[in-house]
Structure formats: C-alpha cells, structure tokens
Structure 1
Amino acid sequence: MARKENALDLGKFIDKGVRVKLSGGREVQGVLKGYDQLLNLVMDETEEFLRDPEDPLRTGSQVRKLGLVVCRGTAVMMVSPTSGTEEIANPFQNAEET
C-alpha cells in the first residue's frame, strides 16, 4: 500500500514564521513550533493583528503580543509563510472603490 501524502506539509515551516487566519476573522503571526494531523498548531512569539475599529472586516496596524499559543485545528482556515511573501494590490477591486 502506498504511503498517503498530506495535502499540507507543515514540516518545512517548523521554526519559521507563519501567518495563520482563523475562523471568526482573527489573524495571528508567529514561529511554528509544532503541529499534528488534526492541524492543531503550536506557535511561539505570536502576535494577533487587531481589527480596524472603522472597518471590522480589515485588520489594522495594531498588534497584541500573545507569546506561546495553541491554535485548534478546527479553527485554522489558512497557513502561509511570512518570508517570501508580499502584499499586492487587489486586481479584482475597481479603481472607483478605493
């Protein structure tokens, strides 16, 4: 029987920075220290990006330091590396909307 490959291999992100979006809209960033098959994540040096008070759908520039956290796998929506990524303009947003 062939070994089943995971769709998401987080092993390459251990001890590296990751940004995680959670259900409910919260976003955190920190150093991935561990994970399991249920996608429970252990992160250190974690910061939470606080919501913009004027637009609750966007994250503001304020952060809150959390330290060592465990993110439950059922709440994890997205995991992305912090190095090698950059923010770009939304190509689907009309110029009139900005």
Structure 2
Amino acid sequence: MSGRKETVLDLAKFVDKGVQVKLTGGRQVTGTLKGYDQLLNLVLDEATEFLRDPDDPLKTTDQTRRLGLIVCRGTAVMLVSPTDGTDEIANPFIQPDGT
C-alpha cells in the first residue's frame, strides 16, 4: 500500500457545476461546486439550504434559505450528487393509506 491517500470520488468533473450535498444531521444544500480537497471539504457558491419540516425533522420542505458562498466540512459530508441529469421520482415502496 502506498502512503498516498486518494479519494473514492472524482469531483473534478463536477467543478463549476451544480451539486446537491447531504450533510450529517439532516441538512441538505445545493450550489455550484467551486473547489474541494482530498478530505472532501467542499466550497459551494450560490448555496441554498432546504429547510426541514418542524413536525418531522427527517423531511425537507419546499422552503429554502440562501446561504451564498459556503464551505462544507468533509467530515460532515454524507452524499454528493449532481443536480443536472437527476429527477425526483415517486417512492415505489410507500403503501396506499387504504392498507
């Protein structure tokens, strides 16, 4: 094994493109990826946070909050996904209320 650490993600292809980031604690932000490092610290420009539902903190609402330029610490990053080319679909596992 070499002493050089490499990340599993190749974020170079997402620089200057829109990304969605989920953080520990349930926070979710979108923005333009401006930079990153090997520890997965991310710099997002024009970032927007999706606010959580006060009744159910596991769900996000349509309400947003503009954050501007932010740094997401790598230890808090759980998921990074592109915003282009992804669509939200209905959950196929939700049972109808009549069950």
**Fold shared by both chains (TM-score > 0.5):** yes
Matched, 1:86 2:87: yes
CA distance in 1, matches of 2:6, 2:57: 38
Per-residue CA deviation, residues 7-43 of structure 1 (Å, 9 max, x unaligned), is 2100000000000000000000000000000000000
Q: TM-score, normalised by structure 2?
A: 0.89
1:95 partner SS: coil
Greater alpha carbon shift after TM alignment, 81-90 vs 5-14 = 5-14
Q: TM-score, normalised by structure 1?
A: 0.90
Equivalenced residues, count: 97
Deviation at 1:77, TM superposition (A): 0.2
CA distance in 2, matches of 1:54, 1:43: 29
Greater alpha carbon shift after TM alignment, 51-60 vs 31-40 = 51-60
Deviation beyond 4 Å, 4+ runs, structure 1:
1-5
- Taking only the aligned residue pairs, the percentage that are identical comes to 71
* Aligned residue number for residue 73 of structure 1: 74
Unaligned runs of 5+ in 1: none
CA distance in 1, matches of 2:86, 2:20: 11
* Aligned residue number for residue 36 of structure 2: 35
Unaligned runs of 5+ in 2: none
